[in-house]
Amino acid sequence: MSVTIETPNIVSRDEWLAARKKLLSKEKQLTREGDAIAAERRSLPWMKVEKQYVFDSPTGQRTLADLFEGKSQIIVYHFMFGPDWKEGCPSCSFIMDHTDGAVVHLAQRDVSFTAISRAPLSRIQAFKKRMGWHFPWVSSNANDFNFDYHVSFTREEIAGGNVNYNFDLTDFGAIGEEAPGISVFYQDKSGNIFHTYSAYARATELGMGAYHWLDLVPRGRDEDGLSFSMSWLRHHDRYADGRLADADKPYWPAGATGS
């Protein structure tokens, strides 16, 4: 698809350079603000994880402590893949396309990574094989982990109106029973586990490197006029036909249509 930008602002090199330097000043300020926010994020207080969670993994049942794989820090991606879904969420898959190759680099900084979903392990493994991914991915189908970290909701909660998502009461009924998120945990030398951070909704965009590339080009993300911002996304093996296996598209807002 190629679309012409109808009214570009064409200027001399000197005018272009002046405008670019003006923007550069703002970009540097944004970088400094980002550094300050990252430092504040690392300084948040911690909560001890008292509950025991056991997950289904390809090597058998594993506890949350086991998922650290000898590291002191772990990043958990709450991957939207409901118990009855045929495939994982396309937007979450977009993030994992960026993450799969990063896991080995995270390990060099004492950080483990895993995705966690409520789908049965057999469906997770089949979908992971189809996508060609290698990152760790376990099932929370038999525990309350997703509910405790506010990325899954019961039908009764949704029917009741607002649910607790992104640290506020939200009308999530238009979306469904699953939501995206990121959670971070720390394990000390005594084996105690602490919850240090969670982020939801658009905060997960930090894992979408392609979006950052798109933000550089003249047309940007080019999502104006879509039924919702990410409706253009497909699994990386489905751009040719655009097919989604779940007819009801449980990972899309209610009533949304494709790009």
pLDDT tens digits, one per residue of 183-219 = 999 999 999 999 999 999 999 999 999 999 999 999 9
32 shares a domain with 96: no
- Reported as type and span, the H/E element at residue 33 is helix 13-42
Q: Is 219 a member of any domain? A: no
144 shares a domain with 72: yes
Q: Is 189 a member of any domain? A: yes
Strand partners, 113: 75
Q: What local confidence, expressed as pLDDT, does residue 181 receive?
A: 97
Helix (H, G, I), strand (E, B) or coil at 21: helix
140 shares a domain with 65: yes
Question: Is the CB of residue 203 less than 8 Å from the CB of residue 165?
Answer: no
Give me the number of domains the chain comprises: 2
CATH number for the domain spanning 133: value is 3.40.30.10
Q: Is the pLDDT of residue 147 over 80?
A: yes
Domain that holds residue 18: 13-42
Question: Is the CB of residue 89 less than 8 Å from the CB of residue 191?
Answer: no
Residue where a domain stops, chosen among 207, 226, 247: 207
Q: Is 218 a member of any domain? A: no
Q: What local confidence, expressed as pLDDT, does residue 138 receive?
A: 98
120 shares a domain with 25: no
51 shares a domain with 32: no
139 shares a domain with 18: no
The HSE-up count of residue 163 (CA atoms within 13 Å, CB side) is 24
Q: Is 234 a member of any domain? A: no
Q: Is 21 a member of any domain? A: yes
Question: Is the CB of residue 166 less than 8 Å from the CB of residue 200?
Answer: yes
Q: Which long-range contacts (CB under 8 A, 24 or more apart) does 109-112 make?
A: 110/71, 110/72, 110/73, 111/71, 111/73, 111/74, 111/75, 112/67, 112/68, 112/69, 112/70, 112/71, 112/73, 112/74, 112/75, 112/136
Q: Is the pLDDT of residue 174 over 80?
A: no
Strands (E), the chain: 47-48, 54-57, 60-63, 73-78, 111-117, 137-139, 162-165, 168-171, 181-187, 193-200
pLDDT tens digits, one per residue of 74-108 = 999 999 999 999 999 999 999 999 999 999 999 99
Residue found by looking up tokens 């350079």 in the block: 17
53 shares a domain with 38: no
Q: Which two tokens stand for residue 135?
A: 């990152």
134 shares a domain with 25: no
